[in-house]
Structure formats: C-alpha cells, structure tokens
Structure 1
Amino acid sequence: MSNAVTLRLTKELSEATKNPDHQIFLKWDDSDIMNIKAMITGPPDTPYCLGQFEFSLQFPKDYPTNPPKVLALTTNMARTRFNPNIYASGKVCLSILGTWRGTAGEQWSSAHGITSILLSIQSLMSDKPYRNEPGHDLEKDEINKIEPYNRKIRHETIRISICDRLEGFLGINQPSFMFNGSSDATSSSSSSPPSPPNVTPAGNNALATPVGTPNSSAVFASGVQAKPPLVESIYSTCVTPSDEFSDLSKYLFMAYYDIYQNTVKTESATVSDGTPFYVAPFEFGGNKMEGTYRYATLAKRLEVIRQTIEKETQDWIKMSQQWIASSSRMSSNLARQFEQIREYYRENDTGGVEVQLVDNNPFVWTFTIFGKPMSNYDGGMFKIQMVFHDSFPDMRPRVKFCTPMYHVHVTPEGIPFYMVEKQEDVRTHIEAISNLVLEDEPSPNPSTHVNAQAAKLLFGTKDQRREYNRNARRCASRSVDYFE
C-alpha cells in the first residue's frame, strides 16, 4: 500500500467523521485502513425504512485509480436479494463500481470516494426498488407488482436487518421457523416466540465484555454465531464476524423501536400471516426473496429485543459496583470527567444544566435541563439518566429522559436521538441532548424523527404545528411535578 493511498483514505475518513451522517456509519482499523465496514440505515418512507444494512469495502492498492470491491453483508447468509441491484451473493451492481454498465459520466473516476459510493448504494433503497431492474424502470403496475415487491421488502427489512441482527448481538434464541425461507410453508404458525430475556443463553456474563471481544460468544467465519450449549434449536443470524456495529445497532433499535412496531401494525392489517411472498419476474434460483408473512411473530420478537436491551442496561448498573471495587481505569476517568463537567457548568453559571451522580456512582449520572425562556419548554425541568459501561466510549452511554418529554427527536419512552463526534467526552453528550430541548427548530431530517406523532404535527399544517406547541408546553408543565 502506497503512502498516497493511505493519505487519500485517511483524508476521506476524516472528512466523513467531521460531517457525521445520521444514516451512514463507518468502522475501520487504523492498522488495516484498506478494509472498511459501513452500515446504512434504510431511508424513511421506503420499504427499507430504518433497516440496518452492512457493507464491506476493500480498497485496491491503486485506489483511487480503481474503485473498491463492495460486498453487501446483510443477505440472510446469501439467501435474500434485498434489491434488484443488491444480490443475495453480496454483489452490488453500480456503474461507479464497474459492476454495472452505465454512461461515460456514470463510470468510476478518482473524484468518487467513500461517501459518494455509500450515497449511491443508499439511493438504490428507493420507494420503488422494483424499477431498478433493467426493463422494469418504467413499470406502472403498482397494485400487482411494485407494491407486492415493496411489501415483502418491508417485512424482511424488519425480520432480517433488525430482528435477526439484534437477536444475534444479544444472544436471543432463534428457533428454526425464524428462517422464513421456502421451508416456512411446512412450519407451524403457532410456534412459540423467542425466549424472554431472563432465559437467553448469553446470560449476564455476556454483558461484562463488549460483543466482538475474545471472551464473547464464538462467531464462525461464515457469520453464524456459535450455538450455545444445551440449546437444541437451529440458529440464524446476520451477525458479521467482528460485530463492529453491535453497540450502535442497539442504540438505533431503541430509538426506532416504535417506528418498527408501527410498520408491523400497519402492514399486518394489509396482509395475513402465512401469505406467501410475491416473486418478481427477475427473481430466480437462489437470487431472490422468498418466504411468508409472519408479522405476529415479528411484533413479539421486537418486544423481546427491547426488553433484553433494557435488562442489559440494568445489568450495567449492577456490574458497575464490581468496576468501582476493582478501581477500573474507566471508573476513575468518569469520576474525573464528572468533577470537571460540574465545575464547568458552575463557572459558566448558565443556569441551564445541573449534573449529579446517582449514589456517588461514576457509572450512573443524572442531569437536569431547564427549559429555555420564551420557548415551548419555558419553566420545564427535564431530568435525564446516563448509564455507562466500563468499555465507554466504545460502548456509548444508555440515555433516557426520566421526566415526560414531548419532542420530535425523543421517543415516547424517553430515548433521545442524538449523535456526537467526540464519543469519549461526556460533556458533548450532555450538550447534544440539551440542544434538543434548547434549540428553536428541530432538524427536518426524517431519520432523526423518533416520535412519529410529534413529527406529523410539527411538520404539518399551521393548526398541527400549534397542537405540537401545546403538547410541548403541557410536557414542560408536567415535568416540574417530578421534582416536588
């Protein structure tokens, strides 16, 4: 690898980090910068809505003269073709990658890079992916072809890119009927849902070490997580060998949980469980998406995943006593940051934030945000809890509002959607969350809208906007009751 290639990739990654995208995420090892992993969340208002899709990018030694080799990793272990241009084998057909013919202006050039490649892949996840197939780009048959194709993508996006993926990260049992392939036709529709959190094979010990470390569950090169002992069911996961996005995936799941469940509720009203998927004319052999609808099961699986992540957070609190007793490096780090941050807000006398430790535990913080005068939240006092793992910042803190918060960027359960550039600096987390309350105008980016009802009102008509404002003011008024 030449210095020129290293400098080019380093520059591209630095620029991507400085301008974080809410839907495109990158992971790499500085010792092997030629191999990069990316996760793209499906665009809202498409069949891929907020699904989690992974890709690997392998750069050649003559980059950027030639493009990287891009492979889709979210394929249900080479069983599922998620798009006419994203094959079950992992092949991604794009003219800028040289994997599909195109006009001269669409071919690869050194002006392209990591961001343009991933944006091009994301553009394939459109509202009508059926039209990506050559010869079907002008297809007008919405009822019989385009919508049936979209409908099965919605189902498999939740089943494969969300449920299979998160269950793999969390060690939740996945019985054989979860495969949802052609064998589903003979599977029992009355099969039991996944095991509840308190009987998952991973157990509490799995929480002590981040997924992907040498002590975590074994993962085979094929991407299949090793079956825990004494469990006879067959397992299916979409977990990649290194699990770089495990922590991020859990965070995004909790932020988007209500949206996933709303999709399940809406779609289950239009198609009956057990109905076979529509098969498009361009799907054949092993390069297709086949199966049957099982939304009732998906709703249960989503709920079990949510409960398991919440239990994991509570286990962090229990385990923090061990980390404190052993005088772990992170225990000292967080204690030091707390003192610095408390002093910062005292010296600046902003009157906007107060921070505290719960039971003098550096792994469990609370902070209070005071509503901005003359805003919807004027007079409000909003308490937020932050729970840290000993592996922070590799594992981001679990954050939740303890008081009511009606906001387009906060879920009805109190999970805020926010991103920070400096994960290791706790103050950047506090300021990012504070800005949600103090900002005058929430972001219009739909991928950040985790309260669907609030978003509908905020970005709707004038009357709907007024209703949003009234709800926010009521929320501020109720918040004070929690401090009495």
Structure 2
Amino acid sequence: MSNPVSLRLAKELSEFAKNPDHQLFLHYDDSNIMNIKAMITGPPDTPYCLGQFEFSLQFPRDYPTDAPKVLALTTNHGRTRFNPNIYSGGKVCLSILGTWRGNAGEQWSSAHGITSILLSIQSLMSDKPYCNEPGHDLEKDPAKLEPYNQKIRHETIRISICDRLEGFLGINQTLTFNGTTDTISSSSSTPSSPSTAAHSSNTLATPVGTPNYSGTPTLSLPVLAHIESLYASTVTANDEFCDLSKRLFLSYYDIYLHTVQTESALIKDGTAFYKAPFEYGSNKMDGTFNYASLMERLKVIKDAIEKETTDWIEQSGKWISSATRMSSNLKRQYEQIVEYYRESNTGGVDVELVDGNPFVWNFTLFGKPMSNYDGGMFKAQMVFHNTFPDIQPRVKFCTPMYHVHVTADGVPFYSVEKHDDVRSHIDAISRLILDDEYSTNPSTHVNLPAAKLLFGTKDERREYNRNARRCASRSTDYFE
C-alpha cells in the first residue's frame, strides 16, 4: 500500500474510524481498499427514517483528482427509485460526483472524500425529497409532497428493512418483476450459524458489522439475470453489514413498528402509490400500500433474530466441549475483568458467567448516587457467538430499564472503541446508565416516548426523571 491513492484512502479510513458516526458505516478489504461498501441509515424525521441503504464506492487510480464512482445498491433489484437523485439503476446524482450539474463551487475537488460523499448522499434523504427534482425545488403543495413521502416511508420499511433482513435470516419472500411473481427462499444453511469474515476485511461502524448470510436466494431466471446484470461485482453473497443490520433492527424495531402503525391509520391497504411527474419508465417507485403485511413481517423478523440468540446459547455447549479458541479467549477476558473491577473498587459493576458458560455473561449495574438511577440495580445479559468479535454480542437488560438509549424491551444502543474487548462493551453500556448522560443525536433515541419527554418541555423533562427514578426504585424487586 505505497501508491498515493492507497495512502490517501488509508488516511481517510483511519480518520473515519477515529470519528465514528451512528448513521454511516463502511466495509473494506485490506487487499483492495479501492472498492468500499457503505451503509447509510436514513435520517430520523424523514420518510427514510432509519432505513438501511447500501452503496458501493469505486475509487479511480487518479483519486482524489477524480471522484469515485458511486452506485446505490438498495434499489429493490433495480426496480425502485428511492429519490429523485437516487435512480432505480443505482445512479446517484450529485454535483460533487460529477453526475449532476451544479453551481460554482459544488463540483468535485480533492478536498472531498469518503465522509463528505456519504454526508452528501444522506442529505438527499430529506424530509421533502420531492423538492430534490429540478423545477420542483420550491414546491410547497402538501398534496404532492406528502403522497410522495408516504410511499417512500412504506418502501423504506418494505425494501430496506423487511426484504433485507428476511434475506439475511432465510425467511421466504415474494417478489414481483414485470408482472411475474417469484419466491425467494433460503437454501439449506442455518440462520444461527453465521459465516466468519475474512481477517483481512474491515467494517468501520458503530458497532462493527460482519458477514452472516443464512442461505443463497433461489430466483427464477429472468429475475436472477436482471439482478446479476445490475449488481455485477458490487454485491457479494455474504453481505458485510448483516450482523450490524440485525443489531440495528433490534434497536429500531419499536420505531419501525410505530411508523407502520401511524401510517396504517392514515392510508388504506391496497391504495396505489402516487406517481410523481418526474417518474418515468423503469425509473420510478410503483406499488400499493400493505401495512398489515409489513407489521407481520417485522414481528417475524424480530422473533427470528431473537431465536438466533437463543440458538447461540444452545450451541455454546459444543463450543465449550471442543475447547474452541474463543471459549478460552472469553474465559480469560472474564477472569481479567472480574479482577479489574475488584481492584478498581468502584462498586458500579458486578460480572458473572451464567452457569460458568463463557459465552453467556450477566452483569449488574448499580445506579450512581445522586443520579436518576440512585439505588437501582440493573441486570443485563450478554450472549456471544463463537466468531466474536466478527459477530458482535447481543445485549439485553433483564431488569426493566427506562432510558432514552434503551428500547422498551431492554436493548441498549451503544458504541465501543475496542470491538474485541468485552470490558469496552460493559463500560460503554454502564456509561449510559451510571453517567446519566444523553446524546442529542436522534438516531440514538431508541425509546420514542422517553425521548419525547426528555427533550420536551421542562415539565416533560421532570416526568422523564420521575420515570427513571421509579425504574430504579423498582429494580431491586427483581433481585429478591
């Protein structure tokens, strides 16, 4: 890695890793960093809210003199235009990429890089994407703006969430292409036995994502040929963000469900999508609303991911009996962590293995004095896969927890610096609770009712504090 382009990209990737973003994620291979995959989650309070959108970035040999080629990969197999500037064929129209004419100063320059490209793409996912189309930028008619938003909300959940996660989990799907219905089904592998990422590959994410694909889809020849033609070499069978996508789904499940419930009360199932004047040919978003189906699909996906976690616990007996490297690694980390907390004498964390199993940890957080959680005792469970840290642990509070960064059913939203260090995970989660600090980034607010109170009026903030104190007071009941 001695040529100027590789050195420039290596520097950018290093900077990206030092300043992680909760909504921008990268995956690359050390042997070829000229090709990078990115995942962007849609900004909250937009019709793309927390959707999972993938892109490929291919860097030319004269980068950064010339811009990289960027291709949208989340297009419903080339059939859905998610934005006036993100075409169904994958083209991303941005002046800084040279794919759209822009005003002076908006063109590509060597000052741009990976982060600015991703932020520019994310900015297209606004609350009024209809206005991204030239000639419609001043449109204020809600009769046009909202119908366009409504179908994007629906397809964001259907395509970027349901279709995506069902593919990872091997859940059957039905697709329609040129009037023909095709069923995608898992081949034969088991969802609870994810594949292991190559050691030379890297995913820059918060937290990290890794390959984990449960089966190869089987499609009819017309659809398969279309997909292969569109994606070529930009998509691999083992999606690099699979593990990350599953963990984000668990964090955002309530928000997806809230969107479905809210929209289904406004739009009758079977209603055809609004067609914008700039949609034409195959470069459009066609379809009908079916929120009843989406609600059921979301629930099935959640159950399947939670079953994976249960399967890991069942499989851990085999990993222990065969004395796998990870079994020894986790046991050693446990012993070191217990000693660390004993010597630090902070009294804020207590850690134990469940039945001596190094793949299943319980840790108890003790509320910080003079905070909302003073006197509280909050137990969480952390379950590991044998491929940790390629596959990150699943964490869930066993004790009811009221917190803006913890889902209603106990999944914490947190980030770690050292993905292979268990103590970094425990410390990151404990900081959420013990330090009583809150991120203002709405993509981290996984408890919507709590967020409404916390960032609302003074009276609402007081109500949030009261709820947190009640949670702490009742937490000890679960230890009796």
Task: Indicate whether the TM-score tops 0.5.
Answer: yes
The C-alpha deviation readout for 1:170-220, integer Å capped at 9, x for no partner, is 0001134xx4x7749xx9xxxxxx99xxxx95677342233778996554x
- CA distance in 1 between counterparts of 2:467 and 2:213 reads 45
Q: Judge conservation of contact 1:17–1:421 (CA < 8 Å) in 2.
A: no
Unpaired stretches in structure 1, ≥5 consecutive residues: 188-193, 220-224, 229-235
In structure 2, the partner of 1:372 is 368
The secondary structure found in structure 2 opposite 1:399 is strand
- CA distance in 2 between counterparts of 1:429 and 1:2 reads 35
Q: Judge conservation of contact 1:417–1:450 (CA < 8 Å) in 2.
A: yes
Question: RMSD over aligned Cα, in angstroms?
Answer: 2.2
- CA distance in 2 between counterparts of 1:455 and 1:301 reads 26
In structure 2, the partner of 1:280 is 276
In structure 1, the partner of 2:449 is 453
Give, in angstroms, the shift of residue 440 of structure 1: 3.2
Which of 160, 167, 192 matches 1:207? 192
Amino acid at match of 2:284: K
**Is residue 94 of structure 2 the alignment partner of residue 94 of structure 1?**
yes
Matches within 5 A, 1:84-483: 84-142=84-142, 144-176=143-175, 179=176, 183=179, 205-210=190-195, 219=216, 225-226=217-218, 241-483=237-479
Give, in angstroms, the shift of residue 267 of structure 1: 0.2
For residues 182 and 152 of structure 1, do their structure 2 counterparts lie closer, same or farther at Cα, with a shift above 3 Å needed? farther
Amino acid at match of 2:127: D
Give, in angstroms, the shift of residue 438 of structure 1: 1.4
Q: Judge conservation of contact 1:211–1:243 (CA < 8 Å) in 2.
A: no
Amino acid at match of 2:368: K
The secondary structure found in structure 2 opposite 1:407 is coil
- CA distance in 1 between counterparts of 2:269 and 2:104 reads 47
- CA distance in 1 between counterparts of 2:463 and 2:188 reads 45
For residues 205 and 242 of structure 1, do their structure 2 counterparts lie closer, same or farther at Cα, with a shift above 3 Å needed? closer
- CA distance in 2 between counterparts of 1:335 and 1:211 reads 21
Unpaired stretches in structure 2, ≥5 consecutive residues: 199-210, 221-226
Q: Judge conservation of contact 1:210–1:395 (CA < 8 Å) in 2.
A: no
Q: Judge conservation of contact 1:83–1:129 (CA < 8 Å) in 2.
A: yes
State TM-score, norm by structure 2: 0.91
**Is residue 77 of structure 2 the alignment partner of residue 77 of structure 1?**
yes
The C-alpha deviation readout for 1:252-301, integer Å capped at 9, x for no partner, is 00000000000000000111000000000000000000000000000000
- CA distance in 2 between counterparts of 1:216 and 1:416 reads 24
Which shifted more, 268-277 or 432-441?
432-441
Q: Judge conservation of contact 1:58–1:70 (CA < 8 Å) in 2.
A: yes
State TM-score, norm by structure 1: 0.90
For residues 480 and 202 of structure 1, do their structure 2 counterparts lie closer, same or farther at Cα, with a shift above 3 Å needed? farther
Give, in angstroms, the shift of residue 7 of structure 1: 1.1
- CA distance in 2 between counterparts of 1:425 and 1:446 reads 27
- CA distance in 1 between counterparts of 2:28 and 2:264 reads 39
- CA distance in 2 between counterparts of 1:316 and 1:336 reads 20
The secondary structure found in structure 2 opposite 1:175 is strand
Q: Judge conservation of contact 1:41–1:49 (CA < 8 Å) in 2.
A: yes
Percent same amino acid among aligned pairs? 73
For residues 216 and 441 of structure 1, do their structure 2 counterparts lie closer, same or farther at Cα, with a shift above 3 Å needed? closer
For residues 8 and 215 of structure 1, do their structure 2 counterparts lie closer, same or farther at Cα, with a shift above 3 Å needed? closer
- CA distance in 2 between counterparts of 1:256 and 1:348 reads 35
For residues 310 and 25 of structure 1, do their structure 2 counterparts lie closer, same or farther at Cα, with a shift above 3 Å needed? same
Q: Judge conservation of contact 1:81–1:88 (CA < 8 Å) in 2.
A: yes
The secondary structure found in structure 2 opposite 1:35 is strand
For residues 250 and 127 of structure 1, do their structure 2 counterparts lie closer, same or farther at Cα, with a shift above 3 Å needed? same
Amino acid at match of 1:173: N
- CA distance in 1 between counterparts of 2:196 and 2:406 reads 27
- CA distance in 1 between counterparts of 2:456 and 2:300 reads 33
- CA distance in 1 between counterparts of 2:408 and 2:100 reads 44
Number of aligned pairs?
456
- CA distance in 1 between counterparts of 2:280 and 2:12 reads 38
Amino acid at match of 1:98: G
- CA distance in 2 between counterparts of 1:303 and 1:268 reads 16
Q: Judge conservation of contact 2:131–2:137 (CA < 8 Å) in 1.
A: yes
For residues 101 and 432 of structure 1, do their structure 2 counterparts lie closer, same or farther at Cα, with a shift above 3 Å needed? same
The C-alpha deviation readout for 1:402-450, integer Å capped at 9, x for no partner, is 0010000000000000111211011110011001101233111100000
The C-alpha deviation readout for 1:328-349, integer Å capped at 9, x for no partner, is 1111111111111111000000
- CA distance in 2 between counterparts of 1:481 and 1:210 reads 41
The secondary structure found in structure 1 opposite 2:305 is helix
Q: Judge conservation of contact 1:255–1:411 (CA < 8 Å) in 2.
A: yes
- CA distance in 2 between counterparts of 1:291 and 1:211 reads 37
- CA distance in 2 between counterparts of 1:208 and 1:138 reads 51
- CA distance in 1 between counterparts of 2:31 and 2:197 reads 17
- CA distance in 1 between counterparts of 2:429 and 2:152 reads 33
- CA distance in 2 between counterparts of 1:216 and 1:125 reads 28
- CA distance in 2 between counterparts of 1:406 and 1:87 reads 41
